[in-house]
A and B are shown apart, each in its own frame.
Chain A
Amino acid sequence: MTTALSRASLGYLLRHPWQLALALLGICIGVAVMVAVDLAVESSRKAFELSMDTLTGAATHQVIGGPRGVSETLYTRLRVEHGIDRIAPVVEGRVEIGGTPVHLMGVDLFAERQFRVFSLDVENDPGSTDLDTEALFSRILTDPNAVLMSRQIAGKLGLGVNDRFEVRSAGGYFEGELLGIVGGDASASAGELIIVDIAVAQEWLGKAGWLSRIDVNIPQEDATLRHAIEASLPAGTQLLEASGRTQSLTEMSTAFMTNLSAMSLLALLVGLFLIYNSVSFAVLQRRGLIGVLRALGVTRQQIFTLILSEGVVLGLLGAIAGVMLGIWLGDYLLVLVSRSINDLYFRVSVTAVTVSPFSVAKGLLAGLGATLVSAAIPAIEAASYAPRLALSRSVIEQRSRRIVPLIALMGLCLGLLALLLLRVSGSNLVAGLSAVFLLILGFALCVPISVRVASAILAPLANRLGGTSARLAVSGIGANLSRTGVAIVALAVAVSATIGVSVMVESFRGSVSDWLDRTLQSDLYIAAPGGSLDAPLIAQLTGTAGVEAFSTSRRIWLESPEGRIRLIAIQLAAGRHPRLELLDAGPNEVWPAFEAGEVVLVSEPFAYRSGFVAGDSITLITNAGNREFLVGGTYRSYDVNAGAVLISRAAYDLFWDDPEIDSIGLFLAPDARADDVAERLRTTLQVHPQVVMRSNVEIRDLSLKVFDRTFIITDVLYWLATGVAFIGILGAMLALQMERARELAVLRALGMTPWQLGGMVTAQTATIGLLSGLAAVPLGLIMAWVLIDVINRRAFGWQMDIQVSWQVLAVAIGFSVGAALLAGIYPAWRAASSPPALAMREE
Chain B
Amino acid sequence: MPLTRAILWIVAIILVAGVAVTRFLANSETVPAAGGVSQSSSRLAELLGSQRLEGFPLATAPRVFSFPQDHGPHSEYRNEWWYLTGNLDNQDGRRYGYELTIFRFSLVPAPPGESEKAPSSAWKTNQVYIAHFAVTDEADNKFYVAQKYSRGAMGLAGAQADPFKVWIDDWSIQENPDEVTNLPPEETWELTASGDGFSLMLNLASIKPAVLNGTAGLSQKSAQAGNASYYYSIPRLRSAGSLQIGDTEHSVTGLSWLDREWSSSALADDQQGWDWFALQLSDGSDLMFYNIRKTDGTQDRHSAGTFIFADGTSQHLDRDDVVLTVTDQWQSPQGAFYPARWNIELPDFDLRLSVSPVISNQELVTTVRYWEGAVDVVGRRGGQALTGRGYVELTGY
Contacts and interface: CB of A to CB of B under 8 A. Distances in A.
Interface of A: 13-17, 20-21, 24, 72-73, 75-76, 79-83, 85, 108-111, 113, 117-123, 128, 130-131, 133-135, 137-138, 141-142, 144, 151, 171-174, 183-184, 187, 197-200, 202-204, 206, 208-209, 317, 320-321, 324-325, 327-328, 331, 352-353, 355
Given A128-B36, A131-B52, A198-B121, 12 more contacts: A15-B3, A15-B6, A17-B9, A20-B9, A80-B169, A85-B169, A110-B150, A133-B36, A141-B107, A199-B125, A203-B120, A355-B27
26 contacts: A14-B2, A17-B8, A21-B13, A24-B13, A72-B122, A73-B155, A75-B156, A76-B154, A80-B170, A82-B170, A108-B123, A110-B150, A119-B38, A119-B40, A123-B32, A123-B35, A131-B50, A135-B52, A141-B125, A144-B115, A174-B117, A183-B34, A203-B121, A206-B119, A324-B16, A327-B24
B20 A327 contact: yes
B23 A327 contact: yes
Interface stretch (B41-49, B260-268, B338-346): B41-49
B6 A20 contact: yes
Given A133-B46, A134-B47, A321-B17, A208 B107 contact: no
Contacts of A121: 34, 36
Tell me what chain A mostly uses at the interface: helix, strand, loop, or mixed: helix
Contact of B2 (A17, A73, A353): A17
B118 A206 contact: yes
A138 B48 CA distance: 13
A355 to B, nearest CB: 6
A200 B115 CA distance: 10
Interface in B114-135: 115, 117-126, 128
Interface in B145-160: 148-151, 153-156
B21 interface: yes
Interface string B162-206: 000001011000000000000000000000001000000000000
A795 B126 CA distance: 51
Contact of A17 (B6, B32, B148, B155): B6
A123 B2 CA distance: 56
Nearest to A197: B123
A7 B169 CA distance: 82
Contacts of B17: 320-321, 324
Contacts of B384: none
Nearest to A182: B34
A120 B46 CA distance: 15
Contacts of B118: 171-172, 202-204, 206, 208
Nearest to A14: B6
- In order of increasing CB-CB distance, the 10 nearest A-B pairs are A324-B20, A183-B34, A83-B170, A184-B34, A199-B123, A199-B121, A202-B121, A138-B107, A17-B6, A208-B119
A182 to B, nearest CB: 9
Contacts of B153: 199
Contacts of B107: 138, 141-142
Nearest to B169: A79
Interface of B: 2-3, 5-6, 8-9, 13, 16-17, 19-21, 23-24, 27-28, 31-41, 43-44, 46-47, 50-52, 107-108, 112, 115, 117-126, 128, 148-151, 153-156, 167, 169-170, 194
Contacts, number: 188
Nearest to A174: B117
A335 to B, nearest CB: 14
A142 B126 CA distance: 6
A133 B27 CA distance: 31
Q: Of A20, A73, A203, which is in contact with the most chain B CB atoms at under 10 Å from its CB?
A: A203
B355 to A, nearest CB: 34
Nearest to B129: A110
Given A15-B2, A122-B35, A327 B27 contact: yes
A76 B6 CA distance: 76
A325 B13 contact: no
B169 A119 contact: no
Nearest to B146: A85
Contacts of B6: 13-15, 17, 20
A324 B46 CA distance: 48
A151 B32 CA distance: 13
Contacts of B38: 119, 184
Contacts of B21: 324
B79 to A, nearest CB: 13
Nearest to A24: B13
Nearest to B108: A142
Nearest to B26: A352
A321 B151 contact: no
Contacts of A119: 34, 37-40
B123 A138 contact: no
A108 B129 CA distance: 13
